[in-house]
Structure formats: C-alpha cells, structure tokens
C-alpha cells in the first residue's frame, strides 16, 4: 500500500511498542520509584519503531521495559526516562536500571499501575479507551471531565479533585498514595510540574498534545497499555481499525494528496486583535484536515503556526470552501462579535464552518481533547462529514453506537 507497506502495517508498530521482546539481566532492584535506584547494567536501550511520534520512544534496556518522553517546555526540551518493572521482575531481581550513561537517573515504576492521579484530558481519554478508568484516584477538576461516569465519581467523592496549576493541592495528592502522578507542562505560569516534582511520588509528563498528527497521538496508547498492563486490549483496539490506519498512514507521506484530489479547500484559524493565527502545514490540525479529505490552504507550509494580517486572509478566503476551528467561538454571532469583518469570508457567508465542540461537559470541558485523542479513525470520519457537508441520515454518514461526534457545523445546531 504505497510507501507505508514498505515500513509495515501501523497495528504492527503498536504491537511492537507494547510487546517489546524481553531480554536477560542479572541485577537487583530497589523499586523505590526514585530517580537512580541503584541498579547497574551496561546494556543500551533497544527501541521499538514508533512510526509517527516525535515525543515518545519505547523499548528494552537490561531486559526491562523503558520509555523516553520528550516535552517541549517553553524554549527548553525536557527528556525524562522511565523503567517499567512488573512485580515478577522485582521479586526475581531479573531486570536492572541503567546506572550510567543515558539512563542514569531514570525513574523506576512498578507496573501495572493501580492508583493514578491524572491531570490532563488526554490522559483520561487513553485510560477510558483501555478500560482502566477505575485506576484513576485523583483528577485536576471534575467540571472539565466529559465522560459522565467518571464525572459522577468525582461529584460523589469517589475520585478526588486535587486542582491544577498553581492551585494543585500537594496535600491531597499525597493523601491519595498514588503509584504515579501524570501531568503536562507548557512553560507557562499555569504549570504544576515543578511543585509536583517536590513530592516523593513518581511523576510523568506526557506530551501527546505536542504531536503533529492523529496517528502520532494514537501511538501513545502503547505507553498507557504498558503502564496499566493492558497490552492485549491495545492490540485489539488497533487491530479493530483494520486497514483504516494504513490508509491514514499513506496520507501522512504526502501533505498535498488531498489538494491533488480536488478535495474541498479548507481555511483554519481565527483573528485576534486584527491578526489571523493559523495552524502551519505541519501541524496537527493540518494533518487532521488532510486525513478528512480536505485541501488545507497552507498544506505546503513547513511550520506549525502562521500569522497573517486580515488583508492577507481576505485575499485568499474566497478560494476556501470550508472554515475549520474558528478559535474559541461556537456560534456565528460569537464570531461576528469578536471580529465583524469576518462575515466577509466565503465559508462564513455560505454557512460552512466546522467547530470541534460538539460534545462538552457542563463545566466547559471539550471531549475533542479527551476521548478523540484515542479514536483517530472516528475523529477523521467525523471531520470528513463536516468538511464534505454530509448530514445525519444522508448516504455516507457514520453509524456508531454510541455515535462519536466532536465536529459540527455551527449553523446546523446549537449546543
């Protein structure tokens, strides 16, 4: 199947990541979860292939499962390394943490994780997909959780709210006695990573939100599968997509494919203060539009973000058929209130504006950032419906039970 067939099917890559072959080691373990647990092993890590992720690597070192996570935090790039050991490995003393070189100071985790504090929507989404939401003992704020069952547990006090950012309660986190705390960092004032890192609890930053395609984000399911002992379930999920992932992979090799196939021309972004901010041609949004069959106006760009004057936008906007992701705005009136001149844009005039807020929590949490991350095929189908103007009941509409909808035409229905 084109260039992808040479590299192998995407489900196989997921399988390799979550079923990395074992190895032999003969060192003891302290299993404290603290960096540098005193194990010694000279073997270097052997990483399994990750087809699209730029931020995650997984493999084996000294017979143990290892993960390396990169996070871009402001102008810096943090690289954190983890060694994942099951109870049998600890009991037998049959795996070791690299004490020298690249793996010195890596964090040792006992897996499967039984108690986790998770502070980002995507982390919750992966756990929901794998069926391990019962391992969540703490969240940042329940109001932003879209999944009704988990939100109910928070409201009933079965899952504790610990806060986010500067408001995170270290006392509450400690009281939960988690095996792992998962958060993220942007380099801004809202980060809670530095405060949480002072605790005597293993801490993991995840950076799936910094990936550049739906496939790259989906590959992170292999990490969650390893952490929670759900490798078999992750393989079932990947295999269940059949050839869909392979077809998506083919499109990633050619950013201009949808444009050559005369797909609907798509503009994305929003104006703030007279400046239009648009995703670059190598951004997650551009990849998603391409996967959905749309020809992104800036598909040939090689950056992740662009800025234009409104005059520059008006010069190209009439060539666009569809407008995707109009900032934070969910209704035509909201858009016009923010910038009245945008009513001149052709997709706005022709009522073809797609926003990703079709499913939200009562507190404003957006399921696009929760469940959609672990459902790349459903997400692409849903955006395809919106970009091509397919309505419920028409031929080609997606039939799911329950239906997964994140994108909607803002003219078709109100939230």
Dist CA 78 CA 370 (whole Å) = 24
Express each pLDDT in 200-234 by its tens digit: 999 999 999 999 999 999 999 999 999 999 999 99
The fraction of the chain above a pLDDT of 70, given in percent, is 80
Q: How many CA within 13 A on the CB side of residue 228?
A: 26
415 has a pLDDT exceeding 60:
no
Average pLDDT over residues 82-108: 66
291 has a pLDDT exceeding 50:
yes
Closest CA to 103 of 143, 151, 45, 146: 45
pLDDT band of 44, cuts 50, 70, 90: low
Sheet with strand 408-409: strands edge to edge:
295-296, 265-268, 322-324, 353-355, 408-409
Output the pLDDT for position 190. 85
34 has a pLDDT exceeding 70:
no
Q: Which residues lie below 8 Å from residue 164, measured CB to CB, with a gap of 6+?
A: 119, 140, 141, 190, 192
What is the pLDDT of the chain when averaged over all its residues? 85
pLDDT band of 11, cuts 50, 70, 90: low
Using a cut of 0.95, tell me whether the model's pTM lies above it. no
Express each pLDDT in 369-391 by its tens digit: 999 999 999 999 999 999 998 65
pLDDT band of 103, cuts 50, 70, 90: low
Express each pLDDT in 348-366 by its tens digit: 999 999 999 999 998 999 9
Closest CA to 317 of 298, 336, 304: 298
Output the pLDDT for position 3. 35
Taking phi over 0 as left and psi of -120 to 50 as alpha, with beta for the rest, 351 belongs to left
Tokens of 329: 């705005």
Q: Which position has the higher pLDDT, 63 or 143?
A: 143
28 has a pLDDT exceeding 50:
no
Dist CA 199 CA 216 (whole Å) = 31
98 has a pLDDT exceeding 50:
no
Whether 367 and 337 have beta carbons less than 8 Å apart is answered as: no
92 has a pLDDT exceeding 80:
no
pLDDT band of 50, cuts 50, 70, 90: confident
Tokens of 38: 């005193």
**Burial of 390 (C-beta count, 10 Å sphere; 0-12/13-18/19+):** middle
Q: Please, which residues bridge with residue 79 across strands?
A: 70
Output the pLDDT for position 161. 98
Whether 386 and 321 have beta carbons less than 8 Å apart is answered as: no
43 has a pLDDT exceeding 70:
no
Average pLDDT over residues 269-298: 96
Express each pLDDT in 155-186 by its tens digit: 999 999 999 998 999 999 999 999 999 999 98
Least confident segment among 21-35, 64-78, 272-286, 308-322: 21-35
């Amino acid at each position: 199947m084109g260039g992808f067939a040479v590299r192998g099917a995407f489900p196989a890559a997921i399988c390799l990541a979550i079923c990395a072959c074992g190895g032999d080691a003969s060192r003891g373990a302290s299993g404290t979860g603290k960096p540098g647990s005193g194990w010694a092993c000279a073997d270097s890590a052997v990483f399994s292939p990750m087809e699209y992720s730029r931020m995650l690597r997984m493999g084996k070192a000294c017979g143990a499962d290892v993960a390396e996570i990169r996070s871009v935090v402001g102008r810096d790039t943090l690289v954190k390394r983890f060694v994942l050991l099951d109870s049998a490995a600890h009991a037998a003393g049959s795996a070791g943490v690299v004490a020298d070189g690249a793996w010195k100071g890596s964090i040792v985790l006992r897996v499967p994780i039984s108690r986790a504090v998770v502070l980002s929507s995507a982390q919750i989404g992966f756990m929901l997909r794998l069926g391990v939401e019962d391992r969540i003992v703490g969240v940042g704020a329940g109001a932003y959780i879209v999944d009704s069952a988990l939100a109910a547990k928070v409201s009933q006090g079965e899952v504790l709210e610990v806060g986010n950012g500067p408001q995170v309660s270290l006392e509450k986190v400690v009281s939960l006695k988690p095996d792992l705390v998962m958060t993220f960092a942007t380099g801004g004032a809202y980060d809670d990573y530095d405060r949480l890192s002072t605790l005597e609890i293993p801490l993991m930053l995840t950076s799936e939100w910094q990936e550049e395609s739906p496939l790259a984000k989906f590959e992170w399911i292999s990490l969650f599968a390893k952490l929670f002992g759900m490798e078999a379930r992750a393989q079932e999920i990947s295999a269940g997509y059949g050839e869909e992932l392979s077809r998506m992979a083919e499109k990633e090799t050619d950013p201009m494919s949808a444009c050559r196939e005369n797909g609907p021309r798509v503009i994305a972004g929003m104006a703030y203060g007279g400046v239009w901010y648009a995703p670059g041609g190598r951004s997650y949004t551009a990849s998603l539009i391409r996967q959905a069959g749309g020809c992104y106006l800036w598909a040939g760009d090689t950056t992740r973000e662009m800025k234009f004057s409104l005059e520059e936008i008006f010069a190209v906007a009439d060539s666009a058929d569809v407008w995707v992701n109009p900032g934070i705005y969910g209704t035509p009136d909201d858009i016009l209130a923010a910038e009245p001149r945008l009513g001149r844009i052709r997709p706005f005039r022709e009522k073809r504006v797609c926003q990703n807020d079709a499913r939200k929590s009562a507190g404003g949490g957006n399921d696009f950032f929760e469940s959609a991350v672990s459902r790349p095929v459903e997400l692409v189908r849903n955006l395809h419906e919106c970009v091509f103007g397919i309505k419920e009941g028409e031929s080609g509409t997606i039939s799911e039970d329950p239906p997964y909808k994140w994108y909607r035409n803002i003219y078709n229905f109100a939230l």
